[in-house]
Amino acid sequence: MNLTYSLVQTDYIVTVASWEERFLRGMSDLLREVNPKIIVMFFYKDKEFAQWSAQNRENLKSNCKRLGIEVIEHELTFASPSDAWRIIGSSLADIPMNPGDVTLDISTMPREAIWSICHVLRSKQASLQYTYHRPEKYGDWLSRDPGRPRIVYKQGGIQHLGRLTALVIQTGYDVERSKQLVRFFEPAKLYLGLQTGEQYGNIEQNKNKHLSAFTRHGDMTSFDTDGYSLAGTVDSLKKHVAPLTEEYNVVIASLGPKVSALGLYVFKMSHASVALCYAPSNDVNRAYSTGYQDRLAGYLAMDTVGILDKNSPERLSKQE
């Protein structure tokens, strides 16, 4: 039987601001339901991102002032992962964590930020609830002109001399970013996690394009995965990817739903040798998404790798 996770009140919300409609509408819902005392809001200054998100940030701060909620803003940049790591670490260091004290809104949060924030919260053994606000629809294109992939700061895993590389990609709608990852790592084995379902034109724009693009790769394996389910993502990685860690240096990257990026982090918590990789884009569509459809939510116990996921049966699994 599936369950619906009901949000509980927490003192803190941690988010990354965006210009997208779902950011402000989703945060407005969270303010009513979570009733936080403080919002830690990061935003990126690269390109026009700060300008694009300015109105949403001002509107949110105005709403919070009316409700007596403190907003703490911090500026980040994609250009310096070490600086971003330092800012995230110092911004969250003084939060007095207790289980359930944090709501993490990953809706418009870059994957590198998701992983860095989770890493900091895990060092405090803080449990958290997460939310992901899905848009009504996506634009004609999401991103293009892929940048140089990079291993996530302080999450590079353990690389063994003499082992070949296995690259695992949770695929999304930008096949060129997947191609860039393959060109960069030149993996001996390529594993493609293909999102299930027909939402947002997934079959044509994601699954079929990736299978066509990599059909001639020397050693490619594809597997179905539900990137909108935290537990489902973790289960598929345990089944298909965990065996690779015995023989290969494993690099994993997320280009699919943001919940799947959270799933990759949970998997890494149980497999220390795995390296998380961020695949940036040099060009992002300002009309990336429109509208606000619904919300996914769940609970993650960072100290025991426990998962309570909206789309999966409740369970609590210990670290392997």
pLDDT for position 307: 52
Same domain, 279 and 296: no
pLDDT for position 286: 81
Q: What is the DSSP string of 48-87?
A: THHHHHHHHHHHHHHHHHHHT-EEEEEEE-TT-HHHHHHH
Q: Is residue 316 part of a domain?
A: no
pLDDT for position 128: 82
For 33-75, write each residue's pLDDT tens digit: 999 999 999 999 988 899 999 999 999 999 999 999 999 999 9
pLDDT for position 303: 56
What are the two backbone dihedrals, phi and then psi, of residue 3, each rounded to the nearest 5 degrees?
-125, 160
Instruction: Report the CATH number at residue 100.
Output: 3.40.50.11700
Torsion of CA 274, 122, 235, 254, to 10 degrees: -60
Q: Is residue 318 part of a domain?
A: no
Q: Which residues of the chain have pLDDT under 70?
A: 1-4, 96-100, 125, 141, 302-320
Q: Is residue 302 part of a domain?
A: yes
Q: Is residue 4 part of a domain?
A: no
Same domain, 237 and 122: no
Spatial distance between the Cα atoms of 95 and 33, rounded to a whole number of angstroms: 21
Domain around 292: 12-139+287-309
Same domain, 86 and 185: no
Same domain, 64 and 43: yes
Q: Is residue 1 part of a domain?
A: no
Q: Is residue 6 part of a domain?
A: no
Our count of domains for the chain comes to: 2
Spatial distance between the Cα atoms of 177 and 279, rounded to a whole number of angstroms: 7
Q: Is residue 320 part of a domain?
A: no
Q: Is residue 185 part of a domain?
A: yes
Q: What is the DSSP string of 183-206?
A: HHH--SEEEEEEEPS-GGGHIIII
- Name every residue whose Cβ is closer than 8 Å to that of residue 101 and which is 6 or more positions away in sequence: 10, 11, 12, 95, 126, 127, 128
Same domain, 93 and 148: no
pLDDT for position 28: 94
Same domain, 119 and 195: no
Same domain, 268 and 186: yes
Nearest to 106 by CA among 134, 142, 69, 76: 134
Q: How many CB atoms lie within 10 A of CB 143?
A: 20
Same domain, 101 and 74: yes
Spatial distance between the Cα atoms of 262 and 313, rounded to a whole number of angstroms: 18
